[in-house]
Each structure stands twice: as C-alpha cells, then as structure tokens.
Amino acid sequence: MMYYTYVLKSIKDSKWYTGATRNLRERLIEHNQQKVHSTKGRGPFKLIYYEACESSHDAFAREKYLKSGLGKRYLKSRLKRSLSQTGFIALVSVILITFVLITFTVSIGLSGFLGRANQLDSEFKEQSIASAEACVEKATADLVAGNPTTGAVTFGGGAYTCTVVSITADTPNAGETTIKSQGIYPITPPLTRSSYTNLVVVVDSTTQAVLSWREYATMP
C-alpha cells in the first residue's frame, strides 16, 4: 500500500492546502464535498502536486516539511515555471488527476503503554524534524549574510538542539550549496529514546531556493 503527501489549490481563493493520506482519490472527493473541517468552505479544489511513499510515517513527515517555510520554498522552486491564473508563482499541476475523493482515517490503534510509547516516538520525530529544519534555515540565513557557520545550535530555552554538520559550496553542482543538518529531540530522553533527523538540503547559492531535500537514516 502506498501513502500520499498532496497539495491542493482552492479554485475559490487560490490558496494551497497540504495533507497526507492513504487514498488520494477518495481524499480529493472528501475535500470537494466539504467533509474536511480544515478546508470546509474553501472548495472546490484541484490537485496540483503529490508524492508517494511506502511508509505512512514518511508521508506524514513529508507533509509536515512541506507545510514549513523551508518546504514552501522547496515547492515554489520545484514548480517555478508554473504560473497560477492570478499571476504569482504557485503550485500548478505536475499531474492532472481526474480522481475524486477520499475518506481519510489515521488510526493510532494501539492501546496501553505500547500505544503511548509509539505516540511519543511519533511526536519526538516531528520535533526532531523541526529542529533539523531550523538548522537548515539558520545555515541559509548565514549564506545570505556571507558568513556560513557550522556547529551546534540551541534554541527554545535549551529545549531544542540541532547541528549544522556542514555547508559545502558548489556541491553537487557549480552554483549550488549542500547543507547537512541533524536535529535531536528530546535532548534528555524520558521513557523512550530520543529521535534523530538527518537532513541533506541543496540550495541555489545565489537565491537560496531549495533544489532538493532528503532525509537519511545516518548522515552520509
């Protein structure tokens, strides 16, 4: 079974909505039938972008990323040649799908201590992703300032930490910069282990537009 991270565009107000689901066709129908609380009253919608993953965790982690500032920059850069009818750069069809809609149910389904432990692991993973992204954002800002700096960064009153592992110019191609970062949460593990996120992000050295974004189990 595949899981999908998707982006919709409202025909009504031209705004985007990012979500994740295991049934893309039915989910689109559900959005257009006003059955999704977060988009109710904003339809009709058209699907303008999607990604497929074998893992539900990967799909929902990707949803969180695409909703972040870094993720939005990535999408705009990836689809920069597509123009919306209102004239600004936006997400326009990578694939036109005539599918129509879906019921989206995410069930945690576990009970007792094991269920709570898995829930905590999921929450910790989301926080570690956000931490790793924060270091990428810092590295990008440092590039703009002309002072790229590596090393550990602590924020949120010491509750969060991330590390800019490396900033490499003209990699993998001339005019591109590769940023490697690692996020960890929590810093001091409670009942479950800490979650780590290793990101390798390639940006345009001049515009800082995100060209690619990948997560690795271990830092390459």
Average pLDDT along the chain, 220 residues, taken 10 residues at a time: 89 89 92 90 88 86 83 73 41 34 37 44 74 83 85 69 91 93 74 77 85 87
Query: Is residue 44 in some structural domain?
Result: yes
List the strands of the sheet with 151-155, edge to edge: 151-155, 160-169, 176-185, 195-204, 210-216
Please indicate, yes or no, whether residues 72 and 141 belong to a single structural domain of this protein: no
Name the pTM for this structure.
Answer: 0.53
Question: Taking a C-beta distance cutoff of 8 angstroms, is the pair 164, 154 a contact?
Answer: no
Last residue within a domain, chosen from 16, 51, 78: 78
pLDDT value for 157: 55
Contacts of 54 (CB under 8 A, 6+ apart): 1, 2, 3
Please indicate, yes or no, whether residues 211 and 148 belong to a single structural domain of this protein: yes
Please indicate, yes or no, whether residues 74 and 15 belong to a single structural domain of this protein: yes
Q: Are strands 210-216 and 151-155 parallel, antiparallel or unpaired?
A: unpaired
Q: How many domains does the chain have?
A: 2
Backbone angles phi, psi at 119, to 5 degrees: -65, -40
Please indicate, yes or no, whether residues 138 and 202 belong to a single structural domain of this protein: yes
Query: Is residue 19 in some structural domain?
Result: yes
Query: Is residue 104 in some structural domain?
Result: no
Residue 198's domain spans which residues? 128-216
pLDDT value for 212: 86
